[in-house]
């Protein structure tokens, strides 16, 4: 019997999974990894001779593999439980939740500064501020050099302060609790200190946020849950419900109204898209009951989406521009940049370290 | 196609095993199964090299046909002529694909010429299968083996997918009988599959994890002594588990198909001298050069100056076999220097075992720098850093973090590169619990290795480039 046992185990695993593989159709979306699976390349003579079919086969086969999430969990258990490693592909977990170690790329931060300066040069007469969002990993319990807030600040200030831009440090307003436990983003419910810090620097007054204005969106699993591939508890997502504000989105060359918090998108592949509908090149928030008639322009990434509705309490019009998806010439068609308005450049480490994504010529 | 992939494990292998074992053996003949094995092997190779498979087929046909002529005119001058033609074709193909640009670059540097580079892609495994073909031609010419008159059988020997792209280098003499007549025993299938899974785990769970440290080292800005030692240690473990893992998989699959390939590794890191290290590391390559180059040059039975020259020639060639680059040649000559040191100096003293083990390990760790170098300035800088020269400090936050994070995989790698686990398994093998532990271990290793492959630990084998 013993000489059969290894063969049986091998046959059951290899044969069983191969057979299941034949009958299981590939997923449309890899929900836990929040991405589309690699598609099997077309089987034709050209692809075969060029090797493209073979090159594309393995990633597509791995994405369509049966029990993929289960196997990813087995790897995670092995990495953390057997190998006792402190992160898996840079993703760690501690008492603050899950995070990913980000690096600081000084060349990219410098490029980001040059791009910010180039845009600021076009904003005559505006009060221009800038800030960066420290990466969540700086609060990790286990020390590993990654995002360097001091270096980032020095690079930005060296290039932007002489241009007359005013730096706002958020380092004192952000800690581990500012962020979702399972996501890279900060939670809107943790942003009161950040909003106050910005408001003080920009000389505006924010109305107090009442408890009654916090509304539950539902349970939320952040992007790191899929990357960690281990079972993790969900967390509650709250949003600040301000009936005074209305949002408009640039769709097909026109500003069209839409919800500030889109609950349909909360149920989609990335629930964080609840805030201002996720990836948007240009969003305008209007507030008829604002304390002032000042305008605010935020040049931003996704971190600004939950922050902007808080700041919008003080501005009659808040325009959010994401230069990853729109250039300045197009922006000018929808934004007048009136003198006396405020402008805030607010970027996270992800953008500062990959500044080539910004569609701006330095 | 590589063994540690979903494509191989869950598409190719099940189909290959089913097709092979359902193919009948009329009258006990393995001819039909050889044809199946050959077709599978060509598909396996064409998966990675859809065009260059034709080069391999052409080499097979020419070597097989010339071998018939060598045999036909045995004892006559023509036999020698056909032998030289056959060897020239095989070495010529290898020289063109692997070494031509190296020669052009050096000719340009030496003579100030401006010959254009041809930039040919290196067909996977060309060094391995060319050496297999050469062993057949040379042994046939020497009269040590019978000529194979069946092209399909000969092509099966050359192209057999288990060892096709990264060895072990199989000699025709070792499988001559098995090619035409072999048994398929259930026990061999069981032992072969167990060996295959162990090799897979060595590659996926240790070599690839060590590869992560190498990637981190390349990406880091930290310039410390600790990180340099972490790098050379991880490289030494990666290359051992990568290559010996592949050899285990090849030997295991060979056994499943009824072949007995010779061992290619025998715990080289426990050697007490570099000469012994090379009797334990890539055994099939060392044996090939010994039998076909070193002994014809006179071997050990020559005067000291000739011995030195022979040693330098052999190690120059071994280095050059590994790659068309000066760092590989320096790597080979480094081993020649250490072996000559052992022969003429160290052998005069009775040194403690501890010294032998230590100096072998340090010598091999240093070769990691040579083997993996991109240029000579890189070699000098990394060597210096190992001893603190040019390093910013002894340790840094990042190196400490990664030492802590990879401590267990490093420890597993170090223990796994000694016979401790094998000895432990051998002791257990007489006990009843082994009957449960053996299939359980195979199952767990297979599932965990699959998990690592599915989750993206997808790295090519280092030795594929040779």
Range in A2-11, B189-198, B201-210 the model is least confident about = A2-11
Q: How confident is the model at residue B38 (pLDDT cuts 50, 70, 90)?
A: very high
Q: Do B14 and A83 touch (CB under 8 A)?
A: no
- Asked if A10 is an interface residue toward chain B (Cβ–Cβ < 8 A), one would say yes
Q: Do B448 and A54 touch (CB under 8 A)?
A: no
Give the pLDDT confidence score for residue A210 in this predicted structure. 67
Q: What is the DSSP string of A28-66?
A: S-BTTTTBPPPPPPP-SHHHHHHTHHHHHHHHHHHHT-T
How far is the alpha carbon of B151 from chain A, nearest alpha carbon, in Å? 26
Q: Of the candidates A6, A51, A72, which has its C-beta nearest B454's C-beta?
A: A72
Give the pLDDT confidence score for residue A152 in this predicted structure. 95
Q: What are phi and psi of A211, to 5 degrees?
A: -55, -35
pLDDT at A186 over 70: yes
Residue of A nearest to B400 (CA): A144
The mean per-residue pLDDT over the stretch B246-259 comes to 95
For residue A111, CA distances in Å to A115, A135, A167, A317, A326 come to 6, 19, 17, 29, 18
Q: Which of residues 44-63 of A touch B (CB under 8 A)?
A: 48-51, 54, 57-58, 61-62
Q: How confident is the model at residue B460 (pLDDT cuts 50, 70, 90)?
A: very low
The mean per-residue pLDDT over the stretch B269-287 comes to 93
pLDDT at B463 over 70: no
Query: Best mutation site among B6, B184, B186, B218 for testing chain A: the one with the most A CBs within 10 Å?
Result: B6
Contacts of B5 in chain A (CB under 8 A): 58
pLDDT at B187 over 50: yes
DSSP state of B145: S
Burial of A89 (0-12, 13-18, 19+ CB in 10 A): middle
3-state class (DSSP) for residue A96: coil
Taken as a whole, chain B contains a residue count of 466
How far is the alpha carbon of A101 from chain B, nearest alpha carbon, in Å? 12
How far is the alpha carbon of B394 from chain A, nearest alpha carbon, in Å? 16
| B362, two tokens | 């340090």
Residue of A nearest to B455 (CA): A72
pLDDT at A209 over 80: no
pLDDT 10s digits, B343-359:
888 888 888 888 888 98
Q: Is the peptide bond before B168 cis (omega within 30 degrees of 0)?
A: yes
The mean per-residue pLDDT over the stretch B224-244 comes to 94
Q: How confident is the model at residue B119 (pLDDT cuts 50, 70, 90)?
A: confident
Q: Do B397 and A145 touch (CB under 8 A)?
A: yes
Contacts of B9 in chain A (CB under 8 A): 14
| B250, two tokens | 């090849």
Mean pLDDT of chain B, nearest integer: 90
Bridge partners for A9 per DSSP = none
Between the two ends of chain B, the Cα-to-Cα distance in Å is 16
ipTM of model over 0.90: no
Contacts of B452 in chain A (CB under 8 A): 75, 78
| B460, two tokens | 């090519």
Q: Do A5 and B435 touch (CB under 8 A)?
A: yes
Contacts of A83 in chain B (CB under 8 A): 209, 406, 408-409, 412
The mean per-residue pLDDT over the stretch B170-185 comes to 90
Q: How confident is the model at residue A212 (pLDDT cuts 50, 70, 90)?
A: low
Q: Do A9 and B405 touch (CB under 8 A)?
A: no
Residue of B nearest to A12 (CA): B443
pLDDT at B207 over 50: yes
Q: Which of residues 71-130 of A touch B (CB under 8 A)?
A: 71-76, 78, 82-87, 89
Residue of A nearest to B49 (CA): A51
CA nearest A165: which of A206, A194, A134, A201?
Answer: A201
Give the pLDDT confidence score for residue B444 in this predicted structure. 97
pLDDT at B464 over 60: no
- Asked if A229 is an interface residue toward chain B (Cβ–Cβ < 8 A), one would say yes
CA nearest A219: which of A276, A266, A278?
Answer: A266
Q: Do A144 and B404 touch (CB under 8 A)?
A: no
Query: Best mutation site among A78, A93, A229 for testing chain B: the one with the most B CBs within 10 Å?
Result: A78
Q: Which residue has the tokens 């802590």?
A: B404
- Alpha carbon B143 to chain centroid, angstroms: 28
Query: Best mutation site among A22, A58, A60, A142 for testing chain B: the one with the most B CBs within 10 Å?
Result: A58
Give the pLDDT confidence score for residue B28 in this predicted structure. 84
pLDDT 10s digits, A242-269:
888 999 999 988 999 999 999 999 998 8
Q: Which of residues 289-348 of A touch B (CB under 8 A)?
A: none
pLDDT 10s digits, A79-129:
999 999 999 988 999 999 999 888 889 999 999 999 999 999 999 999 999
Q: Of the candidates A58, A71, A142, which has its C-beta nearest B455's C-beta?
A: A71
Of B466 and A143, the structure prediction assigns the larger pLDDT to A143
Q: What dihedral do alpha carbons A208, A210, A211, A213 form, nearest 10°?
A: -120
Residue of B nearest to A47 (CA): B50
Cβ partners under 8 Å of residue B115, min gap 6: B104, B107, B108
Q: Do A72 and B451 touch (CB under 8 A)?
A: yes
Q: Do B6 and A65 touch (CB under 8 A)?
A: yes
pLDDT 10s digits, A265-290:
999 888 999 999 999 999 999 998 88
Burial of A212 (0-12, 13-18, 19+ CB in 10 A): exposed
Give the pLDDT confidence score for residue A143 in this predicted structure. 74
Query: Best mutation site among B19, B451, B460 for testing chain A: the one with the most A CBs within 10 Å?
Result: B451
Q: Of the candidates A6, A17, A85, which has its C-beta nearest B190's C-beta?
A: A6
How far is the alpha carbon of B410 from chain A, nearest alpha carbon, in Å? 9
pTM over 0.95: no
Percent of chain A whose pLDDT exceeds 90: 72
How far is the alpha carbon of B216 from chain A, nearest alpha carbon, in Å? 11
Cβ partners under 8 Å of residue A145, min gap 6: B222, B396, B397, B398, B401
Q: Where are the domains of chain A?
A: 23-66, 97-357
Q: Annotated catalytic, B322? A: yes
Give the pLDDT confidence score for residue B125 in this predicted structure. 84
Range in A28-42, A163-177, B249-263 the model is least confident about = A28-42
pLDDT at A12 over 90: yes
Residue of B nearest to A92 (CA): B405
How far is the alpha carbon of B290 from chain A, nearest alpha carbon, in Å? 38
Q: Of the candidates B205, B442, B448, which has its C-beta nearest A6's C-beta?
A: B442
Q: Do A61 and B442 touch (CB under 8 A)?
A: no
Q: What is the DSSP string of B158-203?
A: HH-TTTTTT-----HHHHHHHHH-----HHHHHHHHHHHHHHHHII
């Amino acid at each position: 019997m013993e000489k059969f046992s290894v063969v049986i185990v091998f046959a059951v695993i290899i044969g069983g999974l191969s057979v299941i593989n034949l009958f299981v159709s590939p997923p449309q979306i890899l929900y836990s990894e929040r991405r589309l699976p690699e598609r099997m390349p077309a089987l034709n003579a050209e692809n075969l001779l060029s090797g493209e079919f073979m090159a594309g086969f393995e990633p597509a086969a791995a994405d369509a593999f049966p029990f993929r999430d289960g196997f990813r969990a087995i790897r995670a258990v092995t990495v953390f439980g057997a190998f006792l490693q402190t992160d898996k592909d840079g993703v760690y977990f501690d008492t603050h939740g899950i995070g990913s170690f980000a690096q600081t790329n000084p060349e990219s931060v410098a490029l980001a500064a040059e791009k910010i300066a180039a845009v600021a040069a076009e904003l005559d007469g505006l009060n221009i501020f800038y800030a960066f969002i420290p990466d969540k990993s700086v609060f990790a319990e286990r020390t590993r050099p990654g995002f360097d807030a001091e270096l980032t600040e020095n690079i930005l200030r060296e290039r932007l302060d002489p241009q007359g831009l005013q730096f706002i440090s958020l380092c004192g307003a952000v800690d581990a609790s500012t962020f979702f436990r399972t996501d890279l983003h900060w939670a809107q419910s943790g942003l009161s200190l950040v909003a106050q810090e910005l408001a003080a620097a920009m000389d505006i007054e924010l109305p107090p946020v009442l408890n009654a204005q916090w509304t539950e969106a539902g349970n939320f699993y952040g992007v790191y849950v899929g990357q960690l591939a281990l079972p993790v508890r969900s967390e509650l997502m709250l949003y600040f419900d301000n009936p005074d504000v209305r949002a408009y989105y640039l769709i097909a060359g026109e500003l069209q109204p839409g919800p500030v918090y889109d609950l349909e998108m909360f149920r989609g592949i990335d629930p964080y898209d609840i805030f201002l509908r996720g990836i948007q090149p240009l969003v305008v928030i209007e507030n008829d009951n604002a304390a002032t008639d000042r305008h605010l322009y935020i040049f931003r990434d996704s971190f600004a989406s939950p922050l902007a509705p808080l700041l919008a309490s003080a501005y009659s019009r808040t325009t959010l521009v994401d230069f990853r998806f729109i250039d300045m010439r197009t922006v000018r068609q929808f934004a007048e940049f009136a003198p006396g308005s405020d402008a805030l450049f607010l970027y996270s480490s992800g953008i500062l370290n990959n500044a080539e994504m910004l569609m701006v010529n330095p | 196609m590589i063994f540690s992939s979903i494509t191989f494990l869950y598409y190719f292998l099940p189909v290959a095993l089913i097709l092979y074992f359902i193919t009948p053996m009329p009258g006990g003949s393995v001819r039909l199964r050889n044809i199946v094995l050959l077709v599978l092997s060509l598909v396996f190779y064409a998966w990675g090299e859809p065009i260059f498979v034709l080069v391999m087929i052409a080499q097979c046909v020419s070597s097989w046909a010339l071998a018939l002529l060598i045999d036909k005119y045995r004892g006559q001058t023509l036999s020698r002529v056909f032998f030289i033609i056959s060897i020239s074709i095989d070495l010529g193909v290898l020289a063109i694909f692997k070494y031509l640009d190296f020669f052009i670059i050096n000719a340009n540097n030496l003579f100030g010429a401006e010959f254009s580079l041809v930039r040919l892609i290196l067909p996977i495994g060309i060094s391995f299968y060319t050496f297999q073909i050469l062993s057949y031609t040379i042994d046939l010419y020497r009269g040590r083996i019978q000529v194979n008159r069946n092209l399909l059988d000969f092509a099966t020997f050359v192209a057999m997918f288990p060892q096709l792209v990264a060895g072990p280098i199989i000699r025709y003499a070792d499988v001559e009988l098995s090619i035409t007549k072999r048994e398929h025993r259930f026990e061999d299938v069981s032992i072969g599959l167990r060996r295959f899974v162990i090799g897979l785990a060595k590659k996926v769970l240790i070599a690839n994890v060590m590869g992560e440290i190498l990637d981190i080292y390349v990406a880091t800005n930290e310039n410390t002594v600790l990180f340099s030692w972490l790098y050379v240690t991880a490289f030494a473990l990666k290359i051992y588990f990568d290559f010996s893992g592949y050899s285990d998989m090849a030997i295991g699959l060979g056994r499943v198909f009824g072949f007995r390939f010779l061992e290619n590794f025998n715990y080289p890191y426990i050697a007490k001298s570099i000469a012994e290290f090379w009797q334990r590391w890539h055994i099939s390559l060392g044996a090939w050069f010994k039998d076909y180059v070193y002994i014809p040059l006179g071997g050990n039975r020559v005067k000291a100056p000739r011995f030195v020259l022979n040693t330098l020639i052999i190690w120059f060639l071994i280095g050059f076999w590994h790659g068309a680059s000066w760092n590989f040649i320096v790597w080979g000559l480094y081993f020649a220097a250490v072996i000559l040191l052992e022969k003429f100096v160290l052998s005069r003293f009775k040194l403690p075992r501890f010294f032998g083990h230590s100096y072998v390990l340090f010598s091999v760790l240093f070769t990691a720098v040579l083997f993996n170098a991109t240029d000579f300035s890189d070699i000098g800088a990394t060597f210096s850093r190992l001893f603190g020269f040019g390093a910013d400090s002894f340790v840094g936050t990042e190196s400490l973090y990664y030492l802590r994070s990879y401590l267990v995989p490093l420890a597993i790698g170090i223990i796994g590169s000694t016979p401790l686990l094998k000895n432990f398994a051998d002791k257990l093998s007489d006990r009843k619990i082994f009957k449960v532990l053996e299939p359980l271990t195979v199952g767990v290793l297979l599932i965990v290795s699959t998990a690592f492959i599915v989750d993206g630990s997808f790295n090519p084998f280092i030795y594929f480039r040779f």
